[in-house]
């Protein structure tokens, strides 16, 4: 039987990226099942979609088997910022690894397409610059970031083994730092921290000397990349880098945020966290060639939209969401 609507499962759908993805999928006419355990995600992120006839939210932990019927799966469930994923590192690994096994088992049973939200962290503190997909990385297996880095690397292994062993139709996206409205205000990531600090007039905390680099992709561009990857030919499995190749030092970002918010905040220096990557920039040639994708939103434009979001959030004076117990 041919269905009127494609049924799409988004794990981690109440999170930052997941909620934007759910919106795009609904807008193009899909049936969306948003699954989340609300560890770092929130009901507020999906509130505008609740009540939509093609949208459903389900509280569930991906480390537990799941039996639903869908055509496509986007596997995003996993805490993403260092502060969040180091909060309960064992749970982070379980989410990355057991979550991948369960979602791959589901995809195998249903003969569904499945996309994994992997990460530039699989490259660790890279010794090759910019990072191409064939670079195998420089990851510390026993450091404070390892629960996330190694969990995501193992998830990639599982994706490719399920493809080889069970012919599962997989896609793996390696996401580089992405930002935008609905980032968790307490997630400790650099853009949410700097904007919140600038808006509150608090000191801007630069870790290390601020000369480490990152490349920042606006969320709408990233979501477009997800959709193109999922919709592409089955031979396009990835891993494929998705990110914005424009590279900035963290000190440059701090100055830009101060300028754009008109803040009186001063810059203060704090110790660099262990294993913090010194340089990060995606080589997106593969995404350009195979997905005809490239980011379109420059940092200033994306920051304007993100600052507006945080400004409204802070003005409302609502207590900031805290981490749910796990």
Nearest CB to ligand NAD, comparing residues 178 and 193: 178
Residue selected from 37, 193, 197, 237 as contacting ligand NAD according to rule CB under 6 A: 37
Residues forming contacts to ligand UDP in the complex (CB under 6 A) are 65-67, 81-82, 101-102, 105-106, 108-109, 177, 188-190, 193, 205-207, 212, 214, 250, 273, 276
Binding of ligand NAD by 177 (CB under 6 A): yes
Q: Compute the distance between CA of residue 165 and CA of residue 30 in angstroms, rounded to an integer.
A: 30
Piece of the chain touching ligand NAD by CB under 6 A; list 59-67, 249-257, 280-288, 299-307: 59-67
Binding of ligand NAD by 39 (CB under 6 A): yes
Tokens encoding 195: 């904007």
> Residue 217 phi/psi, 5° resolution?
-110, 135
Binding of ligand NAD by 95 (CB under 6 A): yes
Nearest CB to ligand UDP, comparing residues 49 and 78: 78
The nearest distance, CB 62 to ligand UDP, in angstroms, is 9
In angstroms, the first-to-last Cα distance of the chain is 41
Nearest CB to ligand NAD, comparing residues 12 and 225: 12
Nearest CB to ligand UDP, comparing residues 99 and 238: 99
Nearest CB to ligand NAD, comparing residues 99 and 130: 99
Residue selected from 77, 253, 284, 299 as contacting ligand NAD according to rule CB under 6 A: 77
The secondary structure of 258-317 as a DSSP string is HHHHT--PPEEEEPPPTT--S---B--HHHHHHH-------HHHHHHHHHHHHHHHHHHT
Structural contact between residues 162 and 113, judged by C-beta atoms closer than 8 angstroms: no
Residue selected from 57, 66, 73, 76 as contacting ligand NAD according to rule CB under 6 A: 76
Residue selected from 38, 135, 248, 309 as contacting ligand NAD according to rule CB under 6 A: 38
Binding of ligand NAD by 221 (CB under 6 A): no
Residue selected from 26, 32, 80, 115 as contacting ligand NAD according to rule CB under 6 A: 80
102 binds, among ligand UDP, ligand NAD, none (CB under 5 to 8 A by kind): ligand UDP
Residue selected from 178, 241, 244, 265 as contacting ligand NAD according to rule CB under 6 A: 178
| Gyration radius (Cα) of the chain, Å | 19
Residue selected from 49, 62, 206, 257 as contacting ligand NAD according to rule CB under 6 A: 62
Binding of ligand NAD by 195 (CB under 6 A): no
The nearest distance, CB 204 to ligand UDP, in angstroms, is 8
282 binds, among ligand NAD, ligand UDP, none (CB under 5 to 8 A by kind): none
Residues acting as catalytic residues = 148
> Residue 59 phi/psi, 5° resolution?
-85, 115
Which stretches of the chain bind ligand NAD, using CB under 6 A? 11-12, 14-18, 36-41, 61-63, 76-80, 84, 95, 99, 117, 119, 175, 177-178, 184
């Amino acid at each position: 039987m041919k269905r009127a609507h494609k049924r799409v499962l988004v794990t981690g759908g109440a999170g930052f990226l997941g909620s934007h993805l759910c919106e795009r999928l609904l807008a193009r006419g899909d049936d969306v099942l948003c699954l989340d355990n609300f560890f770092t995600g929130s009901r507020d992120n999906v509130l505008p979609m609740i009540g939509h006839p093609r949208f459903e939210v389900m509280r569930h932990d991906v480390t537990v088997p799941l039996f639903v019927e869908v055509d496509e799966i986007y596997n995003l469930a996993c805490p993403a910022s260092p502060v969040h994923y180091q909060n309960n590192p064992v749970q982070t690994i379980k989410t990355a690894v057991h979550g991948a096994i369960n979602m791959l088992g589901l995809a195998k049973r249903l003969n569904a397409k499945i996309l994994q939200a992997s990460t530039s962290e699989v490259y660790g503190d890279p010794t090759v610059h910019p990072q191409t997909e064939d670079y195998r990385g420089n990851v510390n297996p026993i450091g404070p970031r390892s629960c996330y880095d190694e969990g995501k690397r193992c998830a990639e292994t599982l994706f490719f083994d399920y493809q080889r062993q069970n012919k599962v139709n997989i896609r793996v996206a390696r996401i580089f730092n992405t930002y935008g409205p609905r980032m968790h205000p307490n997630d400790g990531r650099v853009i949410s921290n700097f904007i919140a600090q600038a808006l509150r007039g608090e000191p801007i905390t630069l870790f290390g000397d601020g000369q480490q680099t990152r490349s920042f992709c606006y969320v709408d561009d990233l979501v477009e990349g997800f959709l193109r990857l999922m919709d592409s030919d089955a031979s396009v499995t990835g891993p494929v880098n998705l990110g914005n190749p424009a590279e900035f030092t963290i000190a440059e970002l701090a100055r830009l945020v101060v300028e754009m918010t008109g803040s009186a905040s001063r810059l203060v220096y704090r110790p660099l966290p262990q294993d913090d990557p010194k340089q990060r920039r995606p080589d997106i040639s593969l995404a350009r060639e195979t997905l005809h994708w490239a980011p379109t939103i420059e940092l200033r434009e994306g920051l304007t939209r993100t600052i507006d979001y945080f400004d409204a959030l802070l003005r409302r004076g609502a207590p900031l969401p805290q981490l749910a117990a796990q």
